[in-house]
Every structure is written in C-alpha cells, then in structure tokens.
C-alpha cells in the first residue's frame, strides 16, 4: 500500500511547522509545507493549487498555522480548505471546526453554551456599556476578537478619571467595533495549557509570566514549566475541547479562588509548550495519529 501524501499548512521556516513536516517526512518520505498566502482556488476546475501541487489530490492536510496572526482573513483561508475536504482530503483539524476558534467571540459563545466556566465577560458595541463593565469589574482586560499571544490587548482600570477612561475605550474601539471585555483576575503566578490529541488528554504545561507582567505569554517574556493539574481540571478541559471536535488542541486554564476557569481552546495547539513543559513530542504524536486516521 502506497504511503499517504500529507501536506503541512504552516509558516515555512518556523520551528513548529518544520518539526511537524520533519515528522511526516520521516514516516512517509513526502514533504510539503504550504503557505496559504500562495494558494489559488480555481472554482471552474475544482483545483486548489499551491505551485504545481493540487491540494485536492493529497491524502491529508495538517493545519499547524493558518497565518502568523489571527485576522478575519484567516476565515477566508479556511474556507478555501473546505474545497479540499469536499474532494475527500482528510484535514486535521476540519476547517469548519477551526473556523469556530479563530474568532474569540465564536469560541466564547461555544464554551458558554457548553457550560464551561470562564472569566466574567461582557461583549458590546456600546461605549457606555463598556464603561459600565470597567466600573463593575474594577479592572478589565479588553481583547481583540482576532489575536494571539495577547497582541492588541489592554487593561483599563476604574481608577482612571472618567474622561480618560472614555478616551481609552474610544481608542480601543477604533480597531475593535465589537468590544470583548473580561474581568482581570488575580492568578496564582501561572496559567496552564492542557494538551489533547484525538480528544485524549496527553499532558499539561504551565506558562509562568516574566516579573510582574499581567499576562503569561511567551511573546511577553514568560516561560514554560511542568505542572500537574487535578483530575477535576483535566475533566473540565476535556469537556471544553470536546465542544469543538479538534484533532489536536491546547485548552488554556487558570486556577482562581472560585475554581478553575477556561480562557480559550486553541485552534492549533502549542508544540513548544508541550515539549518544554510537558515533555511531550507533539509533532511525532500528531504525525502517528494522522497516519492511523488515514489508514483506518
């Protein structure tokens, strides 16, 4: 039986993309990293072309990264992949499932409907409602609907003078008409990423902030560490990821005085955190999983 041809959708030269491509090549002898910015859909012929490769002729596609940054344009790239799915290509994870995670609001609504505990959140286009939210929370994190690694986020505090606060809200809303506002929580010095492959729990890692930074992202100087969440937290994260049906993901969780809460479910999951914090080779495990799925 011929070995399947599996393409990697990602960012050429980036560690996680290249590591996954290495793992697939070692197992199949085939290596193709696809930059979605260079993909062309020909509706008339039904071909989804990357250079000389018709992605609709592959056996599988693994989405490691759809873009370097989240934006509404990522949704369009995922829509292109639905053509390949229709042609019978197995995509890890399905484009329709990933679509629900690129937009922070879509992710939040899905988690809320599944009864998953999250930080207190207000979503609004009204500056007055946003002002009320800050005053209600005391300190609030304003988050763009499309962002990763805390990019574009800001903290607004009720201690600001009314005029300053209104100006800050107006400035944020210039780029974010629909404002996503969360209560700023006092966290215990870290949050956690719980890793799932094929719906099964594989391990956890912690993100520890640099100094007194309000966020734990590596982009802001944080680092990965080992952690061992209790079974109740693992069970909650399992329910959270199950709402999306992803092949590989990381659930971002934090402990609070009122119990664990979920910040988000990742569209693509974190390879480096899994490796450095959980000692889990996500690339190799994901490659083995994809091959099993294609051969079953």
- Position 112 scores a pLDDT of 97
| Mean pLDDT of all residues in 288-294 | 98
Query: Which is more confidently placed, 1 or 246?
Result: 246
pTM of the model: 0.92
Residue 90's DSSP bridge partners are 60
- Position 211 scores a pLDDT of 59
Q: Are 121-183 and 187-280 in the same CATH fold?
A: no
In three state form, how does the secondary structure of 129-140 look?
Answer: HHHHHHHHHCEE
What is the DSSP secondary structure assignment for residue 64, as one 8-state letter?
Answer: S
45-55 pLDDT per residue, tens: 999 999 999 99
SS3 content of the chain, % helix, strand, coil (to 5): 40, 25, 35
Distance CA 254, CA 245 (A): 22
160-191 pLDDT per residue, tens: 999 999 999 999 999 999 999 999 988 777 89
C-beta separation of 206 from 226 below 8 A: yes
- Position 1 scores a pLDDT of 58
199-231 pLDDT per residue, tens: 999 999 999 877 565 555 665 567 899 999 999
For the chain, the average pLDDT equals 93
Measured CA to CA in angstroms, residue 171 lies from 2, 148, 152, 164, 211 at distances of 57, 20, 12, 10, 28
Query: Which is more confidently placed, 233 or 187?
Result: 233
120 Cβ contact list (under 8 Å, min separation 6): 137, 182, 183
Q: In CATH, what is the architecture of 187-280?
A: 2-Layer Sandwich (3.30)
Least confident window among 8-17, 67-76, 160-169, 242-251: 67-76
- Position 34 scores a pLDDT of 98
- Position 189 scores a pLDDT of 77
Give, in degrees to the nearest 5, the angle at Cα 112 between 272 and 270.
5
Distance CA 98, CA 83 (A): 15
Q: In CATH, what is the architecture of 121-183?
A: 2-Layer Sandwich (3.30)
C-beta separation of 94 from 85 below 8 A: yes
**21, pLDDT greater than 60:** yes
Least confident window among 29-33, 215-219, 243-247: 215-219
Residue 262's DSSP bridge partners are 253
CATH 3.40.50.20 fits 6-101, yes or no: yes
Secondary structure (3-state) at 23: helix
105-146 pLDDT per residue, tens: 999 999 999 999 999 999 999 999 999 999 999 999 999 999
Domain boundaries, the chain: 6-101, 121-183, 187-280
């Amino acid at each position: 039986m011929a070995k399947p041809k599996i393409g990697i959708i990602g960012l050429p030269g980036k560690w996680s993309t290249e590591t996954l491509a290495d793992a697939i090549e070692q197992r199949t002898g085939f290596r193709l990293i696809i930059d979605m910015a260079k993909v062309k859909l020909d509706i008339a012929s039904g071909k989804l072309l990357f250079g000389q490769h018709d992605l609709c002729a592959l056996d599988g596609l693994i989405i490691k990264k759809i873009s370097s940054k989240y934006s509404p344009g990522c949704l369009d790239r995922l829509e292109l992949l639905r053509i390949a799915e229709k042609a019978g290509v197995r995509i890890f994870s399905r484009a329709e499932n990933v679509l629900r995670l690129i937009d922070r609001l879509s992710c939040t609504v899905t988690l809320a409907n599944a009864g998953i505990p999250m930080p207190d959140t207000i979503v609004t286009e009204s500056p007055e409602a946003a002002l009320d939210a800050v005053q209600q929370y005391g300190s609030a994190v304003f988050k763009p609907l499309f962002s990763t690694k805390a990019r574009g986020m800001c903290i607004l505090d009720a201690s600001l003078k009314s005029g300053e606060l209104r100006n800050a809200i107006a400035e944020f809303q210039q780029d974010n008409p629909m404002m996503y506002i969360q209560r700023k929580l006092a966290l215990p010095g870290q949050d956690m990423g719980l890793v799932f492959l094929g719906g099964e729990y594989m391990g956890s890692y912690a993100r520890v902030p640099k100094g007194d930074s309000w966020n734990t992202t590596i982009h802001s100087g944080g680092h990965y560490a080992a952690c061992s969440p209790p079974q109740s937290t693992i069970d909650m994260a399992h329910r959270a990821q199950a709402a999306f049906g992803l092949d590989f993901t990381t659930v971002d969780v934090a402990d609070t005085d009122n119990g664990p809460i979920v910040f988000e479910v990742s569209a693509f999951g974190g390879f480096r955190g899994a490796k450095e914090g959980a000692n889990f080779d996500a690339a190799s495990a994901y490659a083995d999983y994809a091959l099993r799925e294609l051969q079953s």
